[in-house]
Structure 1
C-alpha cells in the first residue's frame, strides 16, 4: 500500500476524569489530538505507512506529543519546530441528555503562524499516494488558507489522491470565509468527506427533508447532496456520515459513499458512546484504507462505518482498532462478546 500524508494542527487535549463537569474537576486527563493526526494513527493501526506534517514548538510538551505519535508508528520526520505554544482543547464529556462541551485555546499556536514556503512539499510528497487535510487546517491562522492551497496544488502535481474532510469549526472562521477557501481546496479534491451540517454551512448545499436537531435522516436527500457535490466540484467520491443523535450517550450511526453516480449505504449501528471525539476522523481513515486496498464501494463504506463505530467505544481521540477487529464488525459480528 502507498504512503498517506496528513497535514494539520496537533494539540493537547485536557479532559476532566470520567463524566465530571468542568466545575467539578480538580485534575485533567492529558492526551494529544488533531483531526489529521487522528486519521494517521488510525491508518497506522491498519499497517499503513504514514507521515504527519505540522509545526509545533521546541519544548517538552510538544516532545511528549511526538513521542505518542511515534508510539503508534506515525512518521514525524516532516514535523517542523517553531512558534511558542501548542493549542489546547478542553473537553467535558456529555452523558444522556447533557451534551459534551468543548473549549479551545489555540490562538497563535505554532501551525497557526505558519507561512507559504515553510514546508518542503516536494520532499514530503515524494513516494506518497494520498494526502489528507481538513477544513480545520486553513482556518487556523491568517496565512493558513494559502498554505493549505499550496499543499493541495503540490499534491496534485505529484499525482497524489487528495482526501478532504470539510470539518467546519464556527469558532475558527465564518461560513463566508470557510466557503471561499474550501471551494478552492475542493478543486483539487478527489475524496470528499462531510456531514449534512458542514455541506450546508460551508457550501450552501442542503439535504432535503432533513433536520439534524430532530434526528431525521432522509437518504434520498443525501444522495441529492452528494450528486450536487460531484457535479459542482468534480470530486470522485463523497463520504457522508449519517448520525441520528438519540442522546449524548446513544446514537444510531451509519454512512453513505457516493461513487460513479451510485450511492452505497452501510448498515446502521446502535452505539453507546464512550468517547465520540475522533469518530469522523476514523471514518475518513476507513475510506482512505478502502481506497488504498482497492475495495469495492460497498465494502469500503461498510469498513469505514465499522471503523468509526468502534472508535466511539474507545477513550480519547485515536481509533486503535485493527483491520481484523474492523472487518469482524463490518462482517456482521456486533455481539461484543469477549474474545478468548
Structure 2
C-alpha cells in the first residue's frame, strides 16, 4: 500500500441535532474533522499508510482531535503541538429547500499560527508516495499559505506526487486572493480536483452554461476548461465532482475526469442521493476515493467510479469522516445500489 501524506487543519465540529436551527439548539453534537483530515481517514480506512500533518494546541482538546484520527489508523507522529486553540466550526444542517449553514470560529488557530520550523518536511516526505492538500489551508492565514508552499517544495524534492482539492471557501478569503495564492501553488500539482465553483473562484475557469443552483450541467464546458487547465498548468489529471442540488436533502452526484496526456474525457455513473444524511465531507470522501483508486493501480476511469461511489456512500454517514469499507464501495460501484440488509 502507498504512503500518503495530507496536511491541513482539523477542527472541532459542533452541529445542531435533528436538523435544528442554531437558535433552537440546546446542545451540540461533537465531531472532529477538516478537509485533509477527512481524506486521511478515508485512505487509512482503505488500508493505505495515511499520515496527517497539522498543528494542535497542547491541551486536552488538541489531544482529543489527535485521538479521533488515531482511532481510525491515521499516523499522527509529525503533528505539532503549538498555538493556543483548536479551530471550531458550527454546523446547522438544512433540509429540503433550507440550506445548511456553517459558522467558523477558527481565527488564530494552531495551524494558522504555526511556522514552517514546526515541521520536518524532509523527514515527513522521505518515504512518501503522495501528498494531498486543499485550498482551505492557504486560506486560513498568510503564514499557513507559506507553510503549504514549503511542504510542496519538499514533496517535489522527494519525487512525491501532489494532488490538490481547490475547495474555495468564501468565508475565509476572496476569489481575488485565492487566485493569486493558488495559481502560484499549481506549479507543484500533478492532480487537480475541484468543482465548478472552485474552478471559477480559485483559478478563473468557468464551465460553459452550468448553473449548480438550478441542477444543470453542461459537460462540454468541463471539457473546455479541463483542456485550458492542462494547457496552463500541465496537470496529469483534472477532475471535477458534479453535484446537482435539487434541494438540501436531494442531490444527484457524479464526476468527470480528463487524462492530461491523451485528453480523454470521462463522465462517471450518476447517483441520486435522497435523503442526504450528512453532506459535509462529501468532497473529501471523493478525493480520498480517487487517491485510493489511483494508488491501487486502477485506470483513471475505474478510479473515478470508485471515488464517486465512495462519496455517494459518505452522504449516508453522520460526521465528517467516511467510514465505509472497500467492499461496500466496490459493491456500489459494481451496480448494487439496492440498500438491502446484509445478513
- TM superposition score normalised by structure 1: 0.99
Select which of 281, 292, 306 maps to 1:278. Answer: 281
The answer to whether 1:265 aligns with 2:267 is: yes
1:319 counterpart = 2:318: no
Secondary structure of 1:248's counterpart equals coil
**Aligned residue number for residue 214 of structure 1:** 214
Structure 1 residue ranges without an equivalent (≥5): none
Structure 1 consecutive aligned stretches of length 4 or more whose deviation exceeds 2 Å: none
Give the match for residue 255 of structure 1.
255
Q: Secondary structure at the residue paired with 1:329?
A: helix
- In structure 1, the partner of 2:200 is 200
Task: Give me the whole-angstrom Cα distance separating, in 1, the residues matched to 2:106 and 2:68.
Answer: 20
Q: Deviations over 1:146-191 (max 9, x none)?
A: 1111111110110000010000111111111111111111111011
1:109 paired with 2:109, answer yes
- The answer (yes or no) to whether the contact 2:214–2:246 under 8 Å persists in 1 is no
**Alpha-carbon distance between aligned partners in 2 of 1:180 and 1:318, rounded to the nearest angstrom:** 31
State the alpha-carbon separation in 1 of the partners of residues 272 and 214 from structure 2. Answer: 17
SS at match of 1:159: coil
Tell me the equivalent position of 1:30.
Answer: 30
In the TM superposition, residue 203 of structure 1 has moved relative to its aligned partner by: 1.2
Counterpart Cα distance in 1 of 2:102 and 2:236: 33
- What residue number does 1:227 align with? 227
Partner Cα distance (1:142, 1:284) in 2: 25
Deviations 1:61-92 (A, max 9, x none): 11111111111000000001001100101000
1:142 deviates by 2.4
User: How many pairs were matched up?
Assistant: 340
1:34 to partner: Cα distance: 0.8
> Structure 1 CA distance, aligned partners of 2:26 and 2:324?
31
Q: How does 1:1-340 map to 2 (within 5 A)?
A: 1-259=1-259, 260=261, 261-272=263-274, 273-340=276-343
Q: 2 CA distance for matches of 1:181 and 1:14?
A: 30
| Matched position secondary structure for 1:86 | coil
Q: Distance in 2 between matches of 1:35 and 1:91?
A: 15
Give 3-state SS (helix, strand or coil) of 1:128's partner.
Answer: coil
Verify the 8 A CA contact 1:149 1:184 in the aligned structure 2. no
Instruction: Report the RMSD for the aligned CA atoms in angstroms.
Output: 0.8
User: After the TM superposition, which of the residue ranges 141-150 and 236-245 deviates more from structure 2?
Assistant: 141-150
How high is the TM-score relative to the length of structure 2? 0.98
CA distance in 1, matches of 2:213, 2:51: 37
Where 2:231 maps in the other structure, the secondary structure is helix
Structure 2 unpaired stretches of 5+: none
Q: Give distance in 2, aligned partners of 1:128 and 1:116.
A: 19
Task: Give the C-alpha shift of residue 144 in structure 1.
Answer: 1.6
